[in-house]
């Protein structure tokens, strides 16, 4: 089927723009706002097209491309969202509060590394009991393998994963199983290969440590902001996603009275009202600023949730004993208890690692804990280690179980990193597949400098070596081993218990109590009449619970009541009732 189609592109920088459609060039006409248009007759569905700027003969992809079948340097293929037949018409979404999130990277989640292959593993997630899948970025980047944070076409689905139709099939399959889908999006910088946006318009100004920073408040920034807002809404609307995770929002430099994040929050709320289902915005920030998740009516930005590294760092340092890098600020069980009670460990006090004051207190009587994501592991906290080693390669199965219990029995929104649920020991490293050897070498040297300085270790893995990518593939065969089977059963039981007991999904932080004994290495988290009791020591011991024996809901080892004390085996936990 052919039809007349209007091609449009915002390009105020060049003096002339043409669109090449099926090998034929058509001059475009500019309007007063810097948008160029051309009505081209006889355009078939699925045709390839590209733009030509001034006298440069190099055809460039559409900055708003959805489909790049030949990669980020190739032409754009016209894509009709209405042609896909969705099967999720009964899906009404689900709130983030009370849910469990599962983070996965499409390229390494399975051996084939595609959306269709990931769909084949969804029943594992159903049995596990998760409520949301959070995909690492899937926007188009150069090469086959990468984390996705070097994307250069923010509307396009990475072709090696299967392209836009494959992503829709994956979302459809998740919704049929009752699982929501969140997507990590990167608006704070542009990747280094295939970054053609600056040729068209003033999309960027200044620099972040990762690449050019978005122009959010300079000349021409109205259209730049529109580009970001349209991108976010397109993922949610056209791909039926249930939310977005916004990468490193502290790098969004915006001096306007209405910050881009607030503007985005308003736009997403409006789309949610129209679609009749909840839509979530989750932010990653290194500022410990609760204003991000404070309601707009109370002067905040109104985002749905914020990643909380302080709970992760406190838990990791307490269990592993690591004190290098940013873990220098963490370690004692008292720090973990404070982070669990107050959300952040750093609420304005001095950070040794940062060399300055850091953070702001959370109003725990008003802001629910469900607005903060906590985790034992995440892609950042594994992949940005010197060798990409998981905590499962360091901790005993007993302590892994304790860590999972602390996160899954907390009042926060828990997240699981793929493979964590069975204690996978395989690494998940940083990998790229840029075509240019000079760029690969620059990444290699940069990672070695950065991570060597952070961890004080020599980095041996090469991000550009295909072996690094292949070694990071999830090792599903581990699930056949008895030790890993025990861990995944424990995760299933913890998630099922969280769902069964309303105390464990209660997000009210003023109803949480945490007690620790630093010397004896035990921790008790009280959630109403339910308590999590953890023995982190290497030998059995009695932990004072402060109440007569109650019901044993779940335990990872042998337990026995002795008066008001609960005797636990080494490196084990129990969830009990009867503690007021």
Q: How far is it, in rounded angstroms, from Cα 257 to Cα 145?
A: 39
- Asked if 180 and 190 count as a contact pair (C-beta separation under 8 A), the reply is no
Please give the C-alpha separations between residue 10 and each of 21, 29, 60, 73, 520, in angstroms, as whole numbers: 18, 11, 13, 19, 64
Q: Tokens 């959300």, residue?
A: 343
Q: Are 285 and 417 in contact (CB under 8 A)?
A: no
- Tell me the C-alpha distance between 81 and 75, whole Å: 18
DSSP structure string for 503-552: HHH---GGGEEEEEETTTTEEEEEETTEEEEEE-SSS-EEEE-SS----E
List the one residue out of 136, 131, 106, 102 whose CA is nearest residue 119: 106
Least Cα distance to 533 among 574, 490, 483, 479 occurs for 574
Helix (H) or strand (E) holding 494: helix 482-500
Which residue carries 């464990």 as its tokens? 504
Cα distances (angstroms) measured from residue 171 to each of 135, 271, 419: 11, 18, 21
| The two three-digit tokens of residue 359, written as one number | 């953070």
**Active site residue ranges:** 247, 284
Size (the chain), residues: 580
- Which H helix or E strand runs over 225? helix 221-238
Q: Where are the alpha helices (DSSP H) in 239-373?
A: 260-275, 309-320, 333-342
Q: Are 561 and 528 in contact (CB under 8 A)?
A: no
Q: How many CB atoms lie within 10 A of CB 69?
A: 14
What is the DSSP code (8-state) at residue 158?
A: P
The tokens for 277 are 């289902």
Beta bridge partners of 183: 135, 244
List the one residue out of 266, 274, 463, 502 whose CA is nearest residue 383: 463
Q: Quote the CA–CA distance of 329 and 380 in Å, as a whole number.
A: 18
How far is it, in rounded angstroms, from Cα 237 to Cα 81? 10
């Amino acid at each position: 089927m052919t039809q007349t189609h209007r091609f449009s592109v915002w390009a105020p920088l060049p003096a002339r723009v043409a669109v090449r459609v099926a090998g034929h060039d058509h001059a475009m006409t500019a309007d007063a706002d810097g948008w160029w248009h051309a009505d081209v007759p006889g355009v078939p569905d699925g045709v390839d097209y590209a733009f030509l700027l001034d006298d440069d003969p190099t055809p460039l992809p559409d900055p708003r491309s959805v489909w790049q079948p030949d990669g980020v340097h190739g032409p754009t293929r016209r894509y009709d969202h209405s042609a896909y037949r969705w099967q999720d018409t009964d899906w009404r979404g689900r709130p983030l509060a009370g849910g469990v999130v599962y983070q996965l990277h499409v390229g390494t989640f399975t051996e084939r590394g595609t959306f269709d292959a990931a769909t084949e593993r969804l029943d594992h997630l159903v049995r596990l009991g998760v409520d949301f899948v959070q995909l690492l970025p899937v926007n188009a980047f150069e090469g086959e393998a990468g984390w996705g944070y070097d994307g250069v076409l923010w509307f396009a689905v990475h072709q090696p994963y299967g392209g836009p139709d494959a992503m829709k099939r994956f979302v459809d399959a998740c919704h049929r199983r009752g699982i929501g889908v969140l997507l990590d999006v990167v608006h704070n910088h542009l990747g280094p290969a295939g970054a053609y946006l600056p040729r068209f318009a003033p999309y960027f100004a200044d620099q972040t440590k990762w690449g050019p920073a978005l122009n959010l408040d300079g000349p021409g920034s109205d259209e730049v902001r529109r580009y970001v807002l349209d991108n976010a809404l397109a993922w949610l609307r056209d791909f039926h996603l249930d939310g977005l995770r916004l990468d490193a929002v502290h790098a969004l430099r915006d001096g306007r009275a209405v910050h881009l994040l607030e503007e985005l929050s308003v736009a997403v709320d409006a789309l949610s009202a129209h679609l009749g289902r909840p839509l979530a915005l989750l932010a990653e920030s290194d500022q410990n600023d609760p204003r991000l998740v404070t309601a707009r009516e109370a002067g905040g930005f109104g985002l749905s949730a914020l990643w909380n590294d302080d709970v992760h760092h406190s838990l990791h340092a307490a269990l592993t004993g690591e004190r290098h890098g940013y873990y220098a600020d963490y370690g004692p069980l008292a720090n973990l208890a404070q982070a669990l009670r107050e959300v952040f460990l750093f609420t304005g006090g001095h950070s040794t690692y940062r060399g300055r004051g850091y953070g702001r207190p959370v109003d725990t009587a008003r802001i629910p804990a469900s607005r903060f994501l906590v985790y034992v592991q995440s892609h950042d906290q594994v992949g940005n280690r010197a060798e990409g080693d998981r905590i499962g390669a360091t901790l005993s199965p007993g302590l892994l179980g304790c860590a999972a219990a602390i996160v899954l029995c907390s009042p926060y929104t828990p997240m699981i990193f793929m493979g964590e649920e069975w204690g996978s020991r395989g690494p998940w490293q940083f990998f790229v597949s840029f075509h240019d050897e000079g760029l690969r070498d620059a990444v290699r040297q940069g990672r070695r400098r950065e991570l060597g300085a952070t961890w004080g270790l020599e980095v041996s893995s090469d991000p550009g070596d295909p072996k690094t990518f292949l070694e990071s593939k999830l090792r599903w065969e581990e699930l056949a081993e008895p030790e890993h089977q025990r861990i995944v059963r424990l995760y299933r039981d913890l998630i099922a218990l969280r769902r069964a007991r309303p105390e464990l999904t209660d997000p009210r932080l003023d109803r949480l109590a945490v007690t620790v004994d630093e010397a004896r290495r035990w921790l008790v988290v009280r959630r109403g009449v339910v308590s999590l009791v953890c023995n982190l020591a290497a030998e059995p011991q009695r932990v004072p619970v402060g109440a007569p024996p109650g019901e044993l809901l779940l335990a990872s080892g042998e337990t026995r009541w002795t008066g008001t004390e609960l005797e636990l085996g080494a490196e084990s936990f129990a969830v009990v009732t009867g503690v007021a």
